[in-house]
Structure 1
Amino acid sequence: MTNFADYLKADTGQPARTIHLVDPPGFETWLAAQPERARVAVAAQKFTAKGYEYAIIPGDRADEWAVVSGVANVAALSSWCLAKLAEVLPAGTYRLEGVGTGPAMLGWLTGQYRFDRYRREEQPQGPRILLTQDVRRIEPTILLAEAVALVRDMVNTPAADMGPPDLEQAAAAIAATHGARLDVTQGDALASGYPMIHAVGRAADRSFAPRLIELTWGDPAHPRIAIVGKGVCFDSGGLDIKPSAGMRLMKKDMGGAAHALALARLVMASRLPVHLHVLVPAVENAIGGNAFRPGDILATRKGISVEIGNTDAEGRLVLGDALTKAAEAGPELILDFATLTGAARVALGPDLPALFSNDDSLADGLIAAGSACDDALWRLPLWSGYGDMLKSDVADINNAGEGGFAGAITAALFLQRFVPDTVPWAHFDTFAWRATARPGRPKGGDALGLRAAFALLQGRYGRTG
């Protein structure tokens, strides 16, 4: 993982080049105060202070220069407004001139993320920035960047190296670092207690045997919260096999698990006063002689029966057993993350996770938290009228809605059957991927909804960093 601590330091008077931040309303005033050589250089580089624009300003000596960068609003910096600078500036040390950084340092760090596990060439050193103001935010910002990078690293790793045992290893590393308890139920031991997890994962190679990974951390006297993440390490579609184009990105189908583990890491590292329970059902939805079939009827930990209308709607199955287990301990809050439906992407696109919740206060809090930290969510309804789409003639419920309509909603309604009405619950249907790069957000795996969830937990449980 990128060592973000190298790129964000407290200012103790070290030599550094200056970064000036300017927004369009203040540009002319700033420009008028600059020496002629700066005005000429800015004009030559066609700098107008628009977002992500930057220019190099010469100094008094040949080796002296500074940077001016355009932002939308100097008084309210966004998370990403300095990310392009982090990507394009040469290695060296820089300091901001006369402004607090707000959330902008997150983008400075994540803009220097590199996934280099399989690359032979050495990645170039990135620029370092010094903080005079907001020094207390250095450590929390580094923790956030590390959590984002953890999601990216896990999602970017191909399925051969990020199978169920690798998810277990990632959970074990977090447990060892933060003193959490790790429990794993694996293989045929799942058949009685977690029959849907077992059914979905049983066709995989023995080395990729299905498992339920659980982490428990914190003082039992503190409020109990549960975080659940879909860990389908590769999704072939099962016997309802996906076309090759649909299978190409299925290494990312464990993106929900990556979000859950990264959020758990943030909670533990920040020492939030909660009793945390993390559940990751980790499987590969493979094809084999013992794969579960369309038309099969599965038992569940909840006790309801599920008819399989489509083996490619497997994520909701493994989540159903995990949500049931999470609810049994009586948490005051359940959050689940899943790369669950293409329908959510059709409705909201790749950048905006769909949020479902049985609790208006929880949903409103998550949306507000996401807006405040540039990690937007959009709530979709748990519209009970669509529950009829999941009816089965032979079982209590079908795992796949009929007709192709409202796929994200029917998937969420399926999950809701496994959560008590009395427990506030939110479901994030996230993409965990960026098809195109943006400043601070390279192409590939990404954390979408993670920071919103953590901001909500910070606000509720009294540690704001």
Structure 2
Amino acid sequence: MTARFAAPTPDATPIHVLPAETAEAFAAALPAPARAQLQVQPFAGKLGEVRLLFSPGGGLEMVLAGWGTAAERARQQFPLGNLAGALPAGTYALDDAPDGPDRTRLALAWLLSAYRFDRYADRPAQEAALVAPAGVDAARLEQEAAGVALACDLINTPANDMGPDELEAAARALAEAEGAAVSVIRGDALLERNFPMIHAVGRASDKAPRLIDIAWGAADAPAVTLVGKGVCFDTGGLNIKPGASMGLMKKDMGGAATVLGLAQMIMRLKLRLRLRVLIPAVENSISAGAFRPGDVLTARNGLTVEINNTDAEGRLVLADALALAAEEAPALLVSMATLTGAARVALGPDVPPLYTDDEALAAELAAAAATRADPLWRMPFFDPYEEMIEPEIADLDNAPRGGFAGSITAALFLRRFVDGAGAYAHFDVYGWTPAAKPARPRGGACQGARALLEVLAARHGGGAAR
């Protein structure tokens, strides 16, 4: 489902977005019929408050929407994100909304609120349409919303309909639509081509493991590579998860979904870069062929890894993909993965940790996260913890004992496979919204992609959006 702005029309109903401190004065200056309606239903400008005002003839004349106080707005990622759902069918204009990032945020929230996952059950469409407010990049916002919708659709689809085959099909469909090249290494060919850890994690499933490789853009453009964890379902392997922990594991390919959504944004906005997307797509299943606790695997770059928990499989498949990516020495290498529960304990479901040693990139991402309402929080590649991921019998340990600093040690593990890249950033995303919030329905969540898009767009520009 693609949300778009309505064509400009003089018949659009105006929406007046009013902070609490100006609501009373605005209401007092309205014509007498409107003031009379507000006598019956007062309007104080509280955040999320909505009043429909009608003309003497009975038609909808205007909408008052409360913008609240700065303190109220700070508590919501998308203030007024539920506005469209509170309005009757029709076309609306938001041109007197706050300026700058707040106006952009309001417009984007309107588009995001139109998302429906309706593959298995009909869900009523959003009937209120918005004319793009003056001063916003409408084409950019439409492509952001479309990329988010793609990622959310993939995450929301259960594993019986979104296994490695279907994830590959989604990647191929995107590549074909955007004029990108795609290749796939599948099954035992992974061993022949030196991707042993992707093969080891996925070999227990009857759905063959694979590495999906998408390439787009001019050969002489700056190289950016996105690597997304594509574990389409995670039983935990022989270290099997309890049932309660397995219930949401359809979202364990959230990193792959996010990089595909971001890739669509990049390609449709025609950013001037050379994009590569790598997705190791597997199911972590249980069978006689499953890899075992205590096994030692040799990764693509030659490092040996002792397996102390088969439920720490995401970093294994990412490691082989990152090693391949680093061989090309991209200017920027990014991994996105639903990697650790420790990240959720530290920062909750809505704020993904960001890891990078590149100070300029970290500053740009922090600024973008704030202006684009796409939260991130920088965590450290804390070098003294390196010893925690070094066991006695191999170069690396995939699941350090003790339980401390789980997100940091996972990020340190991944960093061992990126030598050669110009800059590296890792996003430990959750990929899920546990309870519906304004402009964010319960279910799959595309996290970090819009903030990274902002940085890439500032660095690499683009042409006309599709």
- Where on the TM-score scale, by shorter chain, does this alignment land: which range? over 0.9
SS in 2 for 1:161: coil
SS in 1 for 2:459: helix
Cα deviations by residue, 1:238-283 (Å, 9 ceiling, x for unpaired): 0000000000000000000001111111111111111111100000
Of residues 344-353 and 48-57 in structure 1, the stretch that sits farther from structure 2 once superposed is 48-57
- Equivalent residue, structure 2, for 1:106: 108
Of residues 398-407 and 59-68 in structure 1, the stretch that sits farther from structure 2 once superposed is 59-68
- Equivalent residue, structure 1, for 2:191: 191
* CA 180–73 in structure 1, closer or farther in 2 if over 3 Å, else same: farther
C-alpha distance in 1 between matches for 2:211 and 2:155: 19
Q: Does 1:438 align with 2:437?
A: yes
- Equivalent residue, structure 2, for 1:363: 362
Q: Does 1:11 align with 2:3?
A: no
Q: Is the 8 A contact 2:231 2:282 kept in 1?
A: yes
- Equivalent residue, structure 2, for 1:34: 30
- Equivalent residue, structure 2, for 1:181: 181
Q: Is the 8 A contact 1:9 1:138 kept in 2?
A: no
Q: Is the 8 A contact 1:204 1:287 kept in 2?
A: yes
SS in 2 for 1:291: coil
* CA 222–20 in structure 1, closer or farther in 2 if over 3 Å, else same: same
SS in 1 for 2:78: coil
C-alpha distance in 2 between matches for 1:131 and 1:325: 42
Q: Give the letter aligned to residue 171 of structure 1.
A: A
C-alpha distance in 2 between matches for 1:46 and 1:310: 60
Q: Is the 8 A contact 2:107 2:133 kept in 1?
A: no
SS in 2 for 1:252: helix
C-alpha distance in 1 between matches for 2:133 and 2:157: 37
Q: Is the 8 A contact 1:80 1:108 kept in 2?
A: no
SS in 2 for 1:439: coil
SS in 1 for 2:147: helix
C-alpha distance in 2 between matches for 1:445 and 1:95: 29
Q: TM-score, with normalisation over the residues of structure 1?
A: 0.94
C-alpha distance in 1 between matches for 2:448 and 2:246: 24
Unmatched segments (≥5 aa) in structure 1: none
Of residues 186-195 and 28-37 in structure 1, the stretch that sits farther from structure 2 once superposed is 28-37
Alignment of 1:297-316 (within 5 A): 297-316=296-315
Q: Does 1:203 align with 2:208?
A: no
Q: Is the 8 A contact 2:114 2:125 kept in 1?
A: no
Cα deviations by residue, 1:355-413 (Å, 9 ceiling, x for unpaired): 01121211121111111111111011111111111121111111011100000000000
SS in 2 for 1:237: coil
Q: Is the 8 A contact 1:49 1:71 kept in 2?
A: yes
Alignment of 1:265-344 (within 5 A): 265-344=264-343
- Equivalent residue, structure 2, for 1:126: 127
Q: Give the letter aligned to residue 117 of structure 2.
A: F
SS in 2 for 1:68: strand
Cα deviations by residue, 1:149-186 (Å, 9 ceiling, x for unpaired): 11111111001111111111111111111111101000
Q: Does 1:47 align with 2:43?
A: yes
SS in 2 for 1:346: helix
Cα deviations by residue, 1:75-120 (Å, 9 ceiling, x for unpaired): x99972342111221221112253464332110011111101000x
C-alpha distance in 2 between matches for 1:41 and 1:12: 26
Q: Give the letter aligned to residue 41 of structure 1.
A: Q
Q: Give the letter aligned to residue 89 of structure 1.
A: L
* CA 275–73 in structure 1, closer or farther in 2 if over 3 Å, else same: farther
Q: Give the letter aligned to residue 82 of structure 2.
A: K
* CA 127–296 in structure 1, closer or farther in 2 if over 3 Å, else same: same
- Equivalent residue, structure 2, for 1:156: 156
Of residues 239-248 and 382-391 in structure 1, the stretch that sits farther from structure 2 once superposed is 382-391
SS in 2 for 1:376: coil
C-alpha distance in 2 between matches for 1:330 and 1:29: 59
C-alpha distance in 2 between matches for 1:273 and 1:73: 40
SS in 2 for 1:337: strand
Give the number of equivalent residue pairs. 456
SS in 1 for 2:213: strand
Across the aligned residues of Structure 1 and Structure 2, the Cα RMSD in angstroms comes to 1.9
* CA 45–314 in structure 1, closer or farther in 2 if over 3 Å, else same: farther
C-alpha distance in 2 between matches for 1:132 and 1:413: 44
Q: Give the letter aligned to residue 80 of structure 1.
A: F
Q: Is the 8 A contact 1:341 1:408 kept in 2?
A: yes
Q: Is the 8 A contact 2:85 2:126 kept in 1?
A: no
- Equivalent residue, structure 2, for 1:398: 397
Deviation at 1:448, TM superposition (A): 1.2
* CA 395–131 in structure 1, closer or farther in 2 if over 3 Å, else same: closer
Alignment of 1:373-392 (within 5 A): 373-392=372-391
Unmatched segments (≥5 aa) in structure 2: none
Alignment of 1:214-233 (within 5 A): 214-233=213-232
C-alpha distance in 1 between matches for 2:312 and 2:200: 13
Of residues 45-54 and 258-267 in structure 1, the stretch that sits farther from structure 2 once superposed is 45-54
C-alpha distance in 2 between matches for 1:231 and 1:114: 23
